[in-house]
Amino acid sequence: MPQTYDDIAQGKISPETITAPYDFVDKAGTQRKIDAAVAAVEDIYVKSDERTNDSIQKLSEDFAAFERARAFGESVFTDTEEAKRQAAQDEIDEEQRRQEEAARASASASAA
């Protein structure tokens, strides 16, 4: 059974120190102390020439790869457009050849 203190009245100062059987954690106070400690530490930035050069090299390689992809896409588009143009020209040439043959056949039939 817990100890009782009959000689202590509410609102009066205890004549002896009373200790709780367990600790109470002031969570808000603890968090304030943590936040203050974190704020007291300055950010640390370490510049590494090696990492900077590695990053520049990687970016250069990436941009070169993008340029190769762009050039390839452009060449595919150009080749496709050229193939379409050539196919259309071939159809025009074939139609002209048919019309010329038809005109010759018609002229031969008229002469006979």
> What whole-number distance in Å separates Cα of residue 37 and Cα of residue 7?
43
User: In a structure prediction context, what are the per-residue pLDDT tens digits for the chain, which is 112 residues long?
Assistant: 777 878 888 888 888 888 888 888 899 999 999 999 999 999 888 889 999 999 999 999 999 999 999 999 888 888 888 888 899 999 999 999 999 998 888 888 777 6
Phi, psi dihedrals of residue 22, rounded to the nearest 5°: -150, 165
pTM for this predicted structure: 0.37
pLDDT at 6: 80
Contacts of 2 (CB under 8 A, 6+ apart): 21
